[in-house]
Amino acid sequence: MSTTPNVPYRLEFSVEVPGTPEQVWQAIATAQGMSAWFTPTEMEEREGGSLHFSMGPEMGSDGQVTAWEPPRRLVYEEDWAALMGKEPDALSPLTSEFLVEAQSGGTCVVRVTSSGFGTGAAWEPEFWDTMAPGWMPFFDNLRLYLAHFPGQEATHLEATASHDGAADALWSALHDALDLGAKGATVEVRGATGTVERVGDRQMLVRLTAPVPGMLSLYTWDDADGRATAGVRAYLFSADAADYVRREEPAWRAWLEGLSVPA
């Protein structure tokens, strides 16, 4: 028996980013642009086009572009029910709208609204409560991408490893092992140099300058069953990036697996 979704949920925020509306549109409304600061993305760049966000091995979110008004407004829907493993008609689509507003001084404000209708199940408010802290740090990536790499295609590096214990302890181990600094600090991260752009709760964003320019995000999160995962995600912008990833991705994975976490 199907359930009619009727409990409204909504998340709204805005970010100011450098660039013209056309540059911002390229970043938020094309597969190449989204892949350069969010997750690897496949998109048919038109109203009615299909959409897929890759979220890891055999994990992803499928959707459809429902409004396409370059360079001002993008709306897409994701299959919230499928994403959460629910019956197809148990939940409304998860709708996200991006509005681009040009500002004086060469910047734009991007207003983001995500909304959906649930059934009032206990897990739904938790989903929305964790959406903002999980999603909003990506918009620092967007700001950095538009400031330093606008229009460029990213090569991805991604590695994770799970450990017994809590994410806080794992983050402390990762942070201390890499000798990470405060925002604005120049750091060396396993042979790569860069500047700390953001320090958050169990996460950090570094703008890389050498040997390959790009953005590198470090993070930990709590898994089920008393374990935690440490991860690194990098967006690299260079003709040498693919060779760098082939060499460094397995090395990062081995390094993360070898972290010593206090009991």
What are the average pLDDT values for consecutive 10-residue runs of the chain, which has 263 residues? 77 97 98 97 98 86 97 97 87 96 97 95 92 91 97 97 93 94 95 95 96 97 88 96 97 96 76
- pLDDT of 1: 44
pLDDT of 89? 83
CA atoms of 28 and 74, how far apart (whole Å): 8
Q: What is the pTM of this model?
A: 0.93
Q: Can you give the pLDDT at residue 2? A: 52
List the strands of the sheet with 59-69, edge to edge.
7-18, 107-118, 94-102, 73-78, 59-69, 50-56, 41-43
What pLDDT, on a 0 to 100 scale, did the predictor assign at position 90?
A: 86
- 97-121 exposure pattern, b = at least 16 Cβ within 10 A, e = fewer: bbbbebeeeebbebebebbbbbeee
Report all structural domains of the chain as residue ranges with CATH numbers, in order of start: 11-149 (3.30.530.20), 155-258 (3.30.530.20)
SS3 per-residue string spanning 107-168:
EEEEEEEEEEEECCCCHHHHHHHHHHHHHCCHHHHHHHHHHHCCCCCCEEEEEEEEEECCHH
